[in-house]
Structure 1
Amino acid sequence: MIEPALNARATIGESPTWVASQSALYWIDVKAPALHRYQPTDGATQSWHMTSDIGGFALTEDGGAVVALREGIYRLDLDSGALHLLAAAPFDPALFRFNEGGCDAKGRFWIGVMFDPLKGTPDKRPGKLHSFTLDGGLRDEPDAAELHNGMAWSADDATFFLSHSNRREIIAFDYDCDGGTISNRRLFATVPEHLGIPDGAAVDSEGGYWSALHGGGKLRRFYADGTIDRDIDLPVSQPTMPAFAGENLATLYVTSASDGMSDAERAGEPLAGALLRLEVGQHGIARPHLVR
């Protein structure tokens, strides 16, 4: 059964992240920019509103957070809501913004980009993939795309997954967790045009890769070799990212978007922008959420 955990009516809900020590799910709304916290046990919520588009986040060991805003990487004080710039955006923020982020097992915060001009329609161009640490700051990584998504790591941290959404490609790399480097780029899977684009993703304990098909209204599970296992139809046309959460990481949460929909489309899709919850028969793997 698929049910709305939170009918948030998000513009672009994204990046659900389970924090087991708090029994809480954090997520963001990119365009109504905020970091949100949701507790499934009692439905309690808390929000921290941002000054510009937020493309990703990670928590810190001292109880704060790092957020990737359009203008740069900031430290967020969760008590006061204050923002402190850690690293300026390595691109023109009038043309690009950060998009999609996640931490590896060593606490490196990987963050992609999206070509998303504030005004005008210049020719599309790719932006660099980056990683970030509190000590080392931002580092360019050897990948570029108009729209990064789908970041996930295999259970043994030996494989890094990444989507080039506008090309409808899911890519796999060999991952050196000690050095934080990617290599041996290869095509993992593609998504046909009529099913939208591969957006955010999660990996389960059996090695399955769950991709949110934005525009296709589905979750697609791929086997570890890139072949298709199954699709799950969702009550939203723009799912954005799944994440395993809850006891034994047995529940899958999915963020969604209502961006670009007309009033009539929103009326016909009342759960657009909701945080959904479902059981899929698989368990997730515990993933780091702390940047170091």
Structure 2
Amino acid sequence: MIETVAVDRIGEMRCEVGESPVWHADENALYWTDIPGRALWRWHASTGRAEAWALPQMTGSIAILDDGDGGVALAMETGIYRVPRPEGGVALPEPTLIASVEHPRSDMRFNDGRCDRQGRFLAGTMVLDMSLAAPLGQLYRLDFEQSRVERLCDSLIVSNGLAFSPDGRTMYLSDSHPSRRMIWAFDYDIDEGVPHGRRLFVDMNEHPGRPDGAAVDAEGCYWICGNDAGLVHRFTPAGRLVRSIEVPVSKPAMCAFGGARLETLFVTSIRKEREPLSGAVFALNPGVAGLPEPRLRR
């Protein structure tokens, strides 16, 4: 049964493709990226102010660096980069390369990504033209010390839905392409940062929407945006659908927990013609708290 709850819009911005919301507790702020808009966004909860910085490449996902400075790691088109903490009214400096990537073909970029519970950054790739349905996407893990990325999974069309259980020992990954619409679970080696034992978690062909970006709550349940269905779903660790919450746009893109007690679920979205709120970012209270987002450790 679809639930209707109070959903607030934060800010007035409308992104082309709003993705990778990350709550920064020290700043009481939400960061996210607009992929084709080539922009990094930040919204301050205390003031309601939103600000954006131009980026030189499309950026599919971000992570806050555990560097004492509040810098940001950016999974872009040609690799993973870093920038210092953004300052209001000041343009970002040119991003510094952490590790480059060798895509199977040139028309690819990074997409969904996040840190595991130990602070390692993982991110997947995709071919820009989704209509090709090319299974060339890879899931990579950043090796910061060696300035390289290591391949963990392949044969993905649109890598998405990356999340980790509270103890970090289960990794979730989806493929949101219309021809796939699958979510998998893996056993995850928390010492080595390697997934194995891939198995079907949820066949989203049995539920409304394509499986886009995701988050895990404090009870271990998996929240994922049902793109094209205007819903955010909650699945138990056993893969059982227990809730579907309606949002005011058809294409929610990714969700993340934030706020002072991590009791707010933020949802980014994709702009669509004739949907006046599409591309906006929303906030709702799902009645359950989330988990702190790990920072990227060197």
Deviation at 1:93, TM superposition (A): 6.2
2-structure distance, mates of 1:88, 1:193: 38
- Correspondence for 1:27: 32
Q: Say if 2:44 is the partner of 1:39.
A: yes
Secondary structure of 2:261's aligned partner = helix
- Correspondence for 1:58: 63
Are the aligned partners of 1:103 and 1:291 in contact in 2 as well (CA < 8 Å)? no
- Correspondence for 2:89: none
Map Cα deviations across residues 132-166 of structure 1 (whole Å, 9 max, x no partner).
03213211113430101111111011100000112
- Correspondence for 2:175: 164
1:18 to 15, 20, 23: 23
Matches within 5 A, 1:83-98: 83-91=95-103, 94-98=106-110
Are the aligned partners of 1:17 and 1:26 in contact in 2 as well (CA < 8 Å)? yes
2-structure distance, mates of 1:34, 1:92: 26
1-structure distance, mates of 2:208, 2:128: 22
2-structure distance, mates of 1:194, 1:225: 16
Are the aligned partners of 2:182 and 2:205 in contact in 1 as well (CA < 8 Å)? no
1-structure distance, mates of 2:140, 2:237: 25
Q: Say if 2:248 is the partner of 1:242.
A: no
2-structure distance, mates of 1:24, 1:47: 13
Distance 1:101-1:211 versus aligned 2 partners, 3 A rule: same
- Correspondence for 1:225: 238
Matches within 5 A, 1:176-187: 176-187=189-200
2-structure distance, mates of 1:141, 1:57: 19
- Correspondence for 2:111: 99
Q: Say if 2:145 is the partner of 1:135.
A: yes
Are the aligned partners of 1:129 and 1:144 in contact in 2 as well (CA < 8 Å)? no
Q: Say if 2:260 is the partner of 1:253.
A: no
Q: Which amino acid aligns with 2:170?
A: T
2-structure distance, mates of 1:41, 1:148: 34
2-structure distance, mates of 1:48, 1:93: 29
Are the aligned partners of 1:28 and 1:36 in contact in 2 as well (CA < 8 Å)? yes
Are the aligned partners of 2:24 and 2:64 in contact in 1 as well (CA < 8 Å)? no
Are the aligned partners of 1:56 and 1:101 in contact in 2 as well (CA < 8 Å)? yes
- Correspondence for 1:72: 79
Gaps of 5+ in 2: 1-5, 87-91
Q: Say if 2:153 is the partner of 1:146.
A: no
Q: Say if 2:211 is the partner of 1:201.
A: no
* Percent identical: 39
TM-score, scaled to structure 1: 0.91
